[in-house]
Amino acid sequence: QVQLVQSGAEVKKPGASVKVSCKASGYTFTSHYIYWVRQAPGQGLEWMGIMYPSGGSTRYAQNLQGRVTMTRDTSTSTVYMQLSSLRSDDTAVYYCARQMGAEESPFDYWGQGTLVTVSS
């Protein structure tokens, strides 16, 4: 069965970086795009960016350009999301999600979420 398993919770200081992993299994890793979505405490969902596992290309939300980097390791079917220059308002649960198919298709499988807390 399809699974996306994320790394554990992180606590970081302002200005630091965090790297969250998302390991995919149960399907052909290079056949589906992977998105990152975050959710601040008590808030809604915010799209962060997309990783195209087959070629490794990425596209990021404008408000995170310059601070977010997404990479992948095809040998382990793992996608990584690194966020730098962390601020307190980056405190959120970070999710990876698989896109079902074509460009406008929904996210059919989600990781369990990774809580990142930014605090001095």
Partner 1 sequence: SYVLTQPPSVSVAPGQTARITCGGDNIGSKNVHWYQQKPGQAPVLVISYDSDRPSGIPERFSGSNSGNTATLTISRVEAGDEADYYCQVWDSSRDLNWVFGGGTKLTVL
- Return residues touching partner 1 (CB under 8 A): 35, 44-47, 59, 61-62, 95, 97, 100, 103-108, 110-113
Do residues 94 and 112 lie in contact, with contact meaning Cβ atoms separated by under 8 Å?
Answer: no
Q: Rank residues 14 and 36 by Cβ distance to partner 1 and give the closer one.
A: 36
- Closest contact distance (angstroms) between CB of 27 and partner 1 is 15
Q: Rank residues 13 and 103 by Cβ distance to partner 1 and give the closer one.
A: 103
24 Cα distance to chain centroid: 12
- Closest contact distance (angstroms) between CB of 75 and partner 1 is 26
CA dihedral 90, 96, 102, 104 (to 10 degrees): -40
- Closest contact distance (angstroms) between CB of 94 and partner 1 is 11
Tokens linked to 110: 């989600």
- Closest contact distance (angstroms) between CB of 14 and partner 1 is 26
- CA neighbor of 48 nearest in space, from 23, 29, 20: 20
